[in-house]
């Protein structure tokens, strides 16, 4: 049975959730699960909890843990990665320094200054992991959860690692759209493709019938353009901004999809990722406080959420994981392992090289999964998984306007990857200068100064840039 290594196993909830998913499959219960982290105390806690789950369910699973990465990777069949290099300490500079320049990132982990610098920190660690994998488990499949997803996976693809990047965006958005239409999720089908956090639903059907016209009608009526409607027919923008997080749940039920609906109003299609997070990737919604308040009336600041994270608030969920019956979550990871091991096919949405299956040589393939996106980029598409591994399904062309928006992000991703792999500071300036939101707000001299400040603040995690 397989050896499954979890890198970043000291996380408070996620490694436990992934392990419960794995153990939910009877065919995987004889696996060896190896937990690895750089924090011994947190690692010991995860080991204790997982040992308890195995013992409580009387399972034959072997659970090991250690601080030696090479030992963790030795002979692994699957390597699950979920970490944040530098933690909240580094993340602070990803968002606070750009804000001094008037660039307000809602999350800052995917694109823009925050996403690029998180990628620089992550790729440095991935290079070490990749060297060990080539040496100790060259055939292993990496299941990659760390953001910035596309930047990290693109770099890993170039390192020759067989990797699939996994996210929640497609599952979450498709369920949300079914809810908006008032139809059971199990009755819908769709076609979705693009890049991580910006994949496009080009088809959406209910019982085989195209419901996109109805979806547009429902969303346009529910979320009128806030800069066009009569001001007396909507609540004042300032009131949303001032009400704060106490009313977040109430307001987000009705006002949380203005950004994605506005994009669909102009470009015709709905994309993955939330309106809050998605507003960072384009130049139109975060130009000034008035526009931000109009489209995102309740502030959602992921850095502040991370700083105020209370492990106690997750105690009940963790208790249910550890003491309740084994059950699957929506995460794809365990399903992929199960399909590869048993041959029982499953379709997932994964982030893969646009030239073909994970681990294949780009020089040996002239094909494109998404025909009108660059050959070497990382795309998010449907994938069939069975004993043959992760097999991306050919998508064809995206609508040209959707591909054009994706290419803006891909330009940043490519330069960020090249900057990281070549230790080239000038490419970092260029990557961030090409970011759509950064370019809409800052001059080139401002961008250079901002990047220099970020390098100085984060130098302990980026020694390779001198």
Positions annotated as catalytic residues are: 168
DSSP3 helix / strand / coil % (the chain, rounded to 5): 50, 15, 35
* Nearest partner of 263 among 279, 251, 239, judged by Cα: 279
Question: What letter does residue 219 receive in the DSSP assignment?
Answer: H
- Look at the block and give the residue holding tokens 């707000």: 441
Question: What burial letters (b/e) apply to 323-340, b meaning 16+ CB within 10 Å?
Answer: eeebeeeebbbbbbbbbb
DSSP conformation class of 85: T
Give the contacts of 340 (CB within 8 A, at least 6 positions apart): 78, 141, 385, 386, 387, 389
Single out the residue of 137, 168, 165, 140 nearest to residue 153, CA to CA: 165
Of 193, 251, 182, 261, nearest to 224 by C-alpha is: 261
The three-class DSSP label of residue 62 is strand
| Distance (Å, whole) CA 463 – CA 465 | 5
Task: Please give the backbone phi and psi of residue 23, each rounded to the nearest 5 degrees, phi first.
Answer: -70, -15
**Residue pair 165/150 in contact by the 8 Å Cβ criterion:** yes
């Amino acid at each position: 049975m397989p050896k499954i290594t979890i890198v970043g196993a000291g996380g408070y909830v996620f490694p436990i959730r992934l392990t419960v998913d794995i153990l939910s499959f009877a065919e995987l219960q004889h696996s060896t699960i190896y937990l690895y982290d750089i924090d011994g105390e947190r690692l010991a806690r995860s080991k204790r909890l997982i040992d308890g789950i195995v013992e409580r369910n009387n399972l034959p699973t072997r659970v090991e843990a250690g601080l030696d990465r090479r030992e963790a990777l030795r002979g692994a069949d699957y390597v699950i990665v979920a970490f944040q290099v530098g933690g909240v300490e580094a993340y602070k500079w990803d968002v606070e320094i750009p804000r001094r320049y008037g660039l307000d990132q809602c999350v800052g982990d995917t694109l823009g200054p925050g996403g690029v610098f998180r990628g620089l920190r992550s790729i440095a660690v991935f290079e070490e992991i990749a060297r060990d994998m080539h040496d100790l488990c060259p055939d292993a499949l990496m299941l990659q959860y760390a953001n910035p997803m596309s930047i990290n996976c693109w770099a890993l693809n170039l390192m020759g690692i067989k990797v699939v990047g996994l996210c929640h965006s497609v599952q979450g958005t498709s369920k949300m759209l079914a809810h908006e239409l008032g139809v059971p999720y199990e009755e819908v089908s769709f076609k979705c493709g693009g890049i991580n956090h910006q994949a496009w639903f080009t088809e959406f059907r209910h019982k085989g019938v195209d419901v996109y016209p109805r979806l547009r009608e429902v969303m346009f009526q529910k979320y009128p353009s806030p800069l066009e409607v009569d001001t007396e027919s909507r609540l004042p923008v300032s009131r949303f901004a001032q009400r704060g997080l106490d009313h977040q749940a109430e307001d987000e039920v009705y006002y949380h999809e203005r950004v994605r609906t506005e994009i669909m109003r102009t470009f015709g299609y709905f994309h993955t990722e939330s309106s809050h997070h998605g507003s960072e990737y384009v130049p139109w919604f975060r130009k000034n406080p008035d526009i931000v308040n109009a489209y995102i009336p309740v502030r959602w600041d992921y850095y502040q959420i991370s700083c105020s994270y209370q492990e106690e608030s997750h105690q009940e969920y963790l208790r249910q994981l550890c003491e309740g019956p084994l059950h699957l979550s929506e995460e794809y990871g365990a399903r992929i392992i199960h399909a590869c091991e048993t041959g029982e096919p499953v379709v997932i949405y994964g982030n893969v090289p646009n030239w073909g299956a994970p681990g294949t040589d780009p020089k040996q393939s002239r094909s494109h999964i998404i025909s009108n996106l660059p050959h070497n980029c990382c795309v998010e598409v449907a994938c069939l998984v069975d004993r043959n591994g992760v097999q991306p399904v050919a998508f064809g062309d995206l609508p040209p306007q959707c591909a054009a928006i994706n290419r803006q992000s891909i330009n940043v991703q490519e330069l960020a990857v090249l900057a990281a792999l070549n230790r080239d500071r000038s490419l970092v300036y260029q990557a961030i200068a090409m970011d759509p939101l950064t370019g809409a707000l800052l001059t080139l001299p401002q961008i250079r100064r901002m990047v220099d400040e970020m390098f100085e603040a984060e130098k302990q995690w980026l020694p390779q840039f001198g």
